[in-house]
Amino acid sequence: MIESSDRTPLARSFFDRPVLDVAPELLGRTLIRMTEDGPIELRLTEVEAYAGESDPGSHAYRGRTARNEVMFGPPGHAYVYFTYGMWHCLNVVCGPEGKASGILLRAGEIQVGAELTRRRRISARHDKELAKGPARLATALDVDRALNGADLCDGPAAPLTLLQGRPPSLDQVRNGPRTGVGGEGAYHPWRFWIEGDPTVSPYRAHTPRRRAT
Partner DNA sequence: CCTATGATGATCT
Partner DNA sequence: GATCATCATAGGT
Q: Which is nearer to DNA, 87 or 156 (CB)?
A: 87
Q: Which is nearer to DNA, 169 or 210 (CB)?
A: 210
Residue 103 in contact with residue 94, Cβ under 8 Å? Answer: yes
Q: Which is nearer to DNA, 2 or 210 (CB)?
A: 210
> Among 6, 12, 41, 44, which Cα is nearest to 26's?
44
Residue 43 in contact with residue 22, Cβ under 8 Å? Answer: no
**Contacting residues toward DNA, per CB under 7 A:** 48, 50, 57-60, 62, 65-68, 71, 79, 81-87, 89, 91, 102, 104, 121, 123-124, 133-137, 139, 178-183, 201-202, 207-212
Q: Which is nearer to DNA, 155 or 180 (CB)?
A: 180
Residues 145, 68: Cα–Cα separation, whole Å: 12
54-190-131 Cα angle (round to 5): 120
What is the 8-class DSSP label of residue 196?
T
Closest separation in Å from C-beta 140 to DNA: 9
Closest separation in Å from C-beta 63 to DNA: 8
Residues 211, 213: Cα–Cα separation, whole Å: 6
Closest separation in Å from C-beta 38 to DNA: 22
Q: Which is nearer to DNA, 47 or 153 (CB)?
A: 47
Closest separation in Å from C-beta 75 to DNA: 15
Name the helix (H) or strand (E) containing 138. helix 134-140
Residues 188, 119: Cα–Cα separation, whole Å: 36
